[in-house]
Chains A and B, each alone.
Chain A
Amino acid sequence: MNSYRHHPDRIAALVQDDRVHRDLYLSDELFALEQERLFANSWVFLGHASQVPAAGDFITQEIAGRPLLMVRQPDGAVHVMYNRCAHKGTQLVTDESGNTGRFFRCPYHAWTYKLDGAPLGLPLKNGYEGTQLKACESGQGLSAVRHVKVYRDFVFVRLSDAGPSFEDYFGEVLGAIDNMVDRSPEGRLTAEGGVLRNIVHCNWKVYLENINDTVHPMSTHESATQAAEALWEGHAPDDPKPMAMEQILPFGSGYEFFDRMGGRVFANGHSVLGIHFSIHSNYAQLPAYEAAMRAAHGEARAAEILQRSPQNSVLYPSLSVKGSPQAIRVIRPLAADRTLIEAWSFRAAGAPALLFERALSYNRLVFSPMSVVAHDDVHLFESIQKGLRAGGNEWVSLHRGYDAAERAQSTVTTNGTNELLMRNQFRAWAKAMAADMEVGA
């Protein structure tokens, strides 16, 4: 039974001006449609080019339910292919990452492929004479993902042939990636230190909404921040703090702090939270690093780069960037009620080791499966997923700060506690889901 496929009007009705329907989080059918329509038609973050530094290096990743393979070529380019043997469909590699040498050899019947996917050879060649193999798809080698964009070493793919160009899709929010890369005096980042993974039993949109939710830290993180404050009590406000304290204490900032930090939304669901300042703004200065930045970028530009430290920038629907602690989170939906969250740390070329330690420390404290901050978030995300099944009220409130005029503008600047940043995500969701949908009875 299809409730939503071929019914764009029903999908559109789930996202109202200032509230959304619970089916968005609960429906398996909508999850399948999201994979097909939203994730396949959008530009989704695959990985970082530094994960495949040498020719033959690969990583595997699933996007919109499809196994992909990113490979460094002998000429230095990065290729993305479907991880599917041209013969019968075996995945060519099943490790998360590795080096394949000069070619891929399928483990099943030993067909081989060049690093760019071109067919190289197969055993028992003579049995194929006179057949159509060469002309068939199976004779063409590995299928390439056609729409790949490597933006300052961040690799994105769009799986569908339809859809906006990379630049049109992201627009101004690409400044979040620029800022993180520009924080390297050499303009180069490497993803290092492995990835922290969590599977959270909630819908991926619950997690993504929370990235823009500034009203929850006061109440959600009360136990962690009260403990931190009690332990730090008696210290003068400008006493140098251990890095962990520097990173945890600001979670306890009041409503007013989060309100004043400001936010901005862009077309297609993207946003920047903390356009004026954020919990990352007051990390200790590092004079030698700042000097290197001035030498690389000039006085004014270096100041502009370092001053900018948003709370979170969302490249909808899958990437969240923290420029200052140089960390990203990637949202990988697994099912309507299951989401894999990855937290990656970056090292900035030419910057002191301490900067990388900040990234590691932040991810460990806030996003590790053993974090003391995120336990309470995760508990509440999973609680939402169950609570919404209750019915009684089928709607989720996004009323805070709603203004009818916001619907007409694609870029809006607002206060930091306005739920506009979430409404903007759901409007993009509805648009992508219902766009060009065939209408049925």
Chain B
Amino acid sequence: MNGDPRDFAAHEAALLDGRRFDEWLALFAEDGRYWVPLLGAAQADPFSHNSLAFEDRLLLQLRVERLKNPRAHSQHPMSHCQHVLQASRIEQEEGEGGEVRLRTPFVYVESRGGGATAAERHGAPPPRAHRRGLGHPREAHRPARPRAGLAGDPAVHLSIPPFLPPLFLITGATT
């Protein structure tokens, strides 16, 4: 992505919601880490405390490949996914070659059923997690950028499900 880094978060979310996983994965640096800490911003690291997810490229690829498999039973019917993002805020911008730190509070809803069309059924498989989560999901952060760090407090939102009950709901801030 070139241009405004704030577009990055929107682009990333749109790729997931559009089930364009290979393109999504291609955004990742080779040594990128996808971290969803259980304690949100309060969690110092993924090694001393459990996380909802902490994955390198290999594991993310496993996720994506699994979803392409017709025997991914939990994708019958498949998930519908929707990110609702707040405006991204740049928290820290560095000079050339530097890292940009972005914060994007969001609500993420996944639901299944409700009449997928045949085209949808035969299209690309849907994204990642779709479990009913209880592990403080409201505090979960989802760093979208490779090598992203976490900062500040998680945003907490109320979510009104679109037209189907949510299966998995994460709200938080993408940094």
Contacts and interface: CB of A to CB of B under 8 A. Distances in A.
Contacts of B53: 364, 368, 370
Interface residues of B, number: 38
A368 B129 CA distance: 10
Contact of A244 (B50, B51, B58, B135): B58
Interface residues of A, number: 42
B86 interface: no
A223 interface: yes
Residue of B48, B54, B72, B131 with highest tally of chain A CB at under 10 A? B131
Interface in B14-50: 36, 38-39, 46-50
B49 A242 contact: no
B153 interface: no
A139 interface: no
Interface stretch (A25-33, A63-71, A149-157, A372-380): A372-380
Contacts, number: 118
B123 interface: no
Interface stretch (B59-67, B95-103, B143-151, B156-164): B59-67
Contact of B62 (A220, A231, A345, A369): A231
B52 A370 contact: yes
B8 interface: no
B53 to A, nearest CB: 4
A375 B62 contact: no
A375 B134 contact: no
A222 B62 contact: no
A227 B131 contact: no
Given A197-B134, A231-B61, A380-B73, A369 B52 contact: yes
Interface stretch (A36-44, A81-89, A198-206): A198-206
A370 B129 contact: yes
A165 B60 CA distance: 48
Interface string A200-216: 11000000000000000
A222 B54 contact: no
A13 to B, nearest CB: 33
A364 B54 contact: yes
A222 B50 contact: no
B58 A242 contact: yes
A188 B45 CA distance: 24
- The A contact surface, by secondary structure, is helix
B43 to A, nearest CB: 9
Contacts of B130: 375
A364 B50 contact: yes
A407 B131 CA distance: 39
B128 interface: yes
A208 B128 CA distance: 26
Contacts of B132: 198-201, 369, 378
A368 B134 contact: no
Contact of B52 (A192, A340, A368): A368
Residue of A227, A244, A245, A360 with highest tally of chain B CB at under 10 A? A227
Contacts of A197: 134-135
Interface of B: 36, 38-39, 46-56, 58-59, 61-63, 65-67, 69, 71-74, 76, 128-135, 137, 168
28 contacts: A192-B48, A192-B49, A193-B49, A193-B50, A194-B135, A195-B50, A199-B132, A201-B132, A219-B71, A223-B66, A223-B67, A224-B62, A226-B65, A227-B69, A230-B65, A231-B58, A244-B55, A244-B59, A248-B62, A340-B134, A353-B47, A357-B47, A360-B49, A363-B50, A364-B50, A370-B53, A370-B133, A376-B72
Interface of A: 192-201, 219-220, 222-224, 226-228, 230-231, 242, 244-245, 248, 340, 345, 353, 357, 360, 363-364, 368-372, 374-376, 378-380
